[in-house]
Amino acid sequence: MVPLTSLSSLPLLGEALESEEIQTREHEWLKQRLGKFTGSEFHRLMSDGRVNFKEKITVSGARGSYVVDIDGKQQEASLSATKAAANDWIKSWKAEEAKSRLSVGAESYVLEKAAEMLASIDLDGYVSPAMMWGKEYEAEAIQFFADRTGINPYMTGDSQELILSACGNYGVTPDGLIGMHSGLEVKCPQYNTHIKYLLMRVLDDFKELCADYYWQVQGCLLVTGREEWEFISYNPTFKDDEHKMKRLVIPRVEHDIARLEKKVQLAIEMRDGVLNSLKTNKLK
């Protein structure tokens, strides 16, 4: 016969086992992400910060005929009557070149990814109160979305999975998938942030106010090949149901997806270059 004290402890044991299973899945998910470029951090590759130009850039010539030299090669398109105009050409050239290069901040992110592939990483990371709030209300947000729209996402909650690109070097973890052509990104911000999201009306508002999430969503569209993505912001403390959720349908923006894909490829090349360099140095 099982003692009554043992029977009373069974629910607690079940909760403990479930908690351990969830933690194990989360650790596996974090391990899968190590060294890979992931959706929630794509914005770090897209930052418009300072770019380190390694080229030697000079202005040569005389009054009435100045030209820019890049690594000793004259740039015919830069021919200018004044030195100031030549310097303006350099600024324009750098601005255009920066679009297809990694910023200093992006390079720092790439080095983090390289380090993850070489170090022993503690997967029990810090969770802030804001993060705990978001995790606590995500399932409720998805149910609220389903009730209001009649749309039932799948691969949500504990069923979420890291979806990798064909090359396996980058990926995304959608908060849910919808049918065959859409997906879901859920945010559960504090009330003082949620009200700002309630004021968003069009895609440009989303890109300006939520640049981090914009690139996360476009990254989801890049990796999954889907046509559009549902973005919802949810806060249950608002009294009126109309104010508890903000929903925006985000379309594919092909020129931005192309930019993101280019930056990701540059990041992969840099990461692999760092790893190969360290491997070569070790063999010497």
CA distance 118 to 278: 10
CA distance 216 to 33: 15
Under 8 Å between Cβ of 98 and 48: yes
pLDDT value at position 266?
96
**Can you read off the two tokens belonging to residue 99?**
């679009």
**Can you read off the two tokens belonging to residue 274?**
């760092």
* CATH 3.90.320.10 holds for 129-252: yes
Secondary structure element (H or E) that encloses residue 75, with its range: strand 73-80
pLDDT value at position 36?
96
Could you tell me which residues are beta bridge partners of residue 182?
Answer: 178
**Which of these, 57, 47, 36, 38, lies nearest to 104 by C-alpha position?**
47
Beta pairing, strands 170-172 & 37-38: parallel
* 259 three-state secondary structure: helix
pLDDT value at position 200?
97
Residues whose CB falls within 8 Å of the CB of residue 184, separated by 6 or more in sequence, listed in order: 142, 145, 153, 156, 174, 175, 176, 177, 178, 229, 230, 232
Query: Average pLDDT by consecutive 10-residue portion of the chain (284 residues)?
Result: 53 54 71 93 91 85 84 84 87 85 94 93 66 81 97 94 96 97 96 97 96 98 98 97 98 97 97 93 62
CA distance 34 to 268: 13
CA distances in angstroms from 151 to 89, 154, 174, 267, listed in the order given:
52, 10, 16, 36
Could you tell me which residues are beta bridge partners of residue 230?
Answer: 184, 249
CA distance 247 to 245: 6
Under 8 Å between Cβ of 140 and 234: yes
Q: Which residue has the tokens 């040569």?
A: 60
Give the domain ranges of the chain: 57-99, 129-252
Under 8 Å between Cβ of 175 and 186: yes
pLDDT value at position 6?
54
pLDDT value at position 2?
47
pLDDT value at position 15?
53
Torsion of CA 132, 138, 237, 125, to 10 degrees: 10
Beta pairing, strands 163-164 & 170-172: antiparallel
**Can you read off the two tokens belonging to residue 122?**
């503690």
pTM for this prediction: 0.83
CA distance 126 to 10: 30
Tens-place pLDDT, residues 60-71: 888 778 888 888
How many helices (H) and strands (E) would you count in the chain? 10, 10
